Amino acid sequence: MKKASIRIVLQARTNSKRLYGKVLLPIANMPLVILCSKRLKSKKIPLTVAIPKTKKDNKLYKVLKENNLKVFRGSLNNVFKRYLGATKDMKENDIIVRATSDNPFVDGLFVNSVLKIFIDYDLDFLDTHQSFNLPYGIAVQVVRLKILKKMKKNKLSKYDKEHVVPFLCRKNLNKGLNLKKLLHGPKKLKNKRLTIDNFNDYSRIKKYFHNISNPTSISWNKII
């Protein structure tokens, strides 16, 4: 079988309900979305930032292009459709790594370790929130494109179109497979909240990256 291609798709939007414009707020002297992109980006794995095609996201688009990032613009609320658009040139068995621009701790080494488990166990879907003992915000989802395309055959709710992952989790594609022993952080970090939903999160997480000399390459657990 031909080796599957892999693509990281980072979703971002300006119109966040809890903290408007958070993807453009500065952390480590760069917009949050750029920090996330640089921490995720790998020489071996291409990255596409999937954003809405709305006027409110024009500034976001400009910032991404100024940083030489590949951008796909699609539906605002139908994020499922946005993912299909961002991967339309890929084959059914190819692998998509879903990441979000409010989780700046996720790094390339982490992504590679998750991909190794995904490939070694010949999985179709893997959600790190469900599968591993990690802090909230150390999260990606890995899925084969054929699984996303199968979703089209279902009558998706508005919620599932916007959030994508809960539908896949409900399908329980890895039933009976216990992966928790394979990937975990230090126990003392398990209850850390490492995502940005509101301004308090932003203020707290900004401090983690303060005075870090290599914010785009240092591993998440070393930052903590």
Say whether pTM exceeds 0.85: yes
Across the range 91-114, mean pLDDT stands at: 96
- What is the C-alpha to C-alpha distance for residues 104 and 44, in angstroms, rounded to an integer? 20
The two structure tokens encoding residue 43: 């020489």
The predicted structure's pLDDT at residue 188: 73
Cα-flanking dihedrals φ and ψ of residue 97, to 5°? -100, 115
- What is the C-alpha to C-alpha distance for residues 159 and 13, in angstroms, rounded to an integer? 17
CATH, domain range 6-223:
3.90.550.10
pLDDT over 60 (residue 168): yes
The predicted structure's pLDDT at residue 2: 66
- What is the C-alpha to C-alpha distance for residues 85 and 66, in angstroms, rounded to an integer? 22
The alpha carbon of residue 190 and the mean position of all alpha carbons in its chain are separated, in whole angstroms, by: 19
Element holding 99 (H helix, E strand)? strand 95-100
Give me the half-sphere count of Cα atoms (radius 13 Å) on the Cβ side of residue 152: 9
The predicted structure's pLDDT at residue 155: 86
Name the band, by pLDDT with cuts 50, 70 and 90, for residue 175: low
Q: pLDDT digit string (tens) for 118-159?
A: 999 999 999 988 778 889 999 999 999 999 999 988 888 999
- What is the C-alpha to C-alpha distance for residues 58 and 64, in angstroms, rounded to an integer? 10
Residue 9, strand partner residues: 48, 98
The predicted structure's pLDDT at residue 106: 97
Nearest by Cα to 38 from 90, 105, 92: 105
pLDDT over 90 (residue 191): no
% of residues, the chain, pLDDT over 70: 95
The two structure tokens encoding residue 179: 């992966």
pLDDT over 90 (residue 214): yes
DSSP 101: T
The two structure tokens encoding residue 77: 């609320």
- What is the C-alpha to C-alpha distance for residues 203 and 210, in angstroms, rounded to an integer? 11
Average pLDDT score, the chain: 91
Across the range 36-64, mean pLDDT stands at: 95
Across the range 185-210, mean pLDDT stands at: 90
pLDDT over 70 (residue 176): no
What is the DSSP annotation of 128-176? HHHHSB--BT---EEEEHHHHHHHTTS---HHHHHH-HHHHHHTTTTTT
